[in-house]
Amino acid sequence: MFWPQKIPEDIPFSKKDKLCVMISGNKTNRDSRELYSERLNAIRYFEKNHPNDFDLYGTNWDIRTFRTFHRLNRFHFIRKILAEKRPSYRGVVNKKIDILSKYKFSFCYENAKDITGYITEKIFDSFFAGTIPIYLGAPNVKDFIPESTFIDKGHFSNYDELYDFIVKIDEDKYDEYIENIRQFLKSDKIRNFSAEFWADTLLKNIISSICD
């Protein structure tokens, strides 16, 4: 069972003026599989090298999140004073689709990597906005979502390579990605991620356990 999605009937596939965006919260975790620090790597890379091609949205980017001295995160005034300046930060969002639909690419990093089947709403938020996801997370994501619908961050050894790839995609190749997304969302494969499938599966298991 996957994180259930409400599959929209209409998907906006409009032309985009901006290159890439990330919508995420500023968080931390001690688990060796966490991807919060990798999100931060992406943010710092773009702010340093391509500041005009990247925007950041989400919560708590205007305050400091301590990754070593975790107890200091309880003190908001300290976090505010010591906050790392984020020139790419554009604030919080009310509806993700309103922001994502303006960008060609969106960073969709799960909270953790190397967890089989751990596929959340992040990649679908981009799909539903007509934006190509740059994905990192579940090692078997391609078993459920076609590789032709997203960019696998794991294929690139560094952010220079990734940037070079997305900035040089021509219009035909970009439109091919979008068409692949459209076809996937119309296919039977998307049902595994729907709220209806989640509810049906849960109900069947409840009935089965009662009958047993």
Q: Which residue segment(s) compose the domain that 183 sits in? A: 18-211
Closest CA to 85 of 58, 62, 52: 62
Q: Is residue 35 part of a domain?
A: yes
Closest CA to 111 of 46, 1, 29, 43: 29
In the chain the beta strands, taken as DSSP E runs, fall at: 18-23, 54-57, 103-109, 132-136, 151-152
Per residue in 94-107, pLDDT (tens digit) is 999 999 999 999 99
Per residue in 130-167, pLDDT (tens digit) is 999 999 999 999 999 999 999 999 999 999 999 999 99
Q: What percent of the chain has pLDDT over 70?
A: 98
Total domain count, the chain: 1
Up-side HSE of residue 157: CA atoms within 13 Å toward CB? 0
Q: Is residue 3 part of a domain?
A: no
Q: What's the CATH code of the domain at 158? A: 3.40.50.2000
- The mean per-residue pLDDT over the stretch 94-123 comes to 95
Q: Is residue 10 part of a domain?
A: no
- The whole-model pTM stands at 0.88
Q: Is residue 9 part of a domain?
A: no
Q: Is residue 12 part of a domain?
A: no
Q: Is residue 4 part of a domain?
A: no
Q: Is residue 13 part of a domain?
A: no
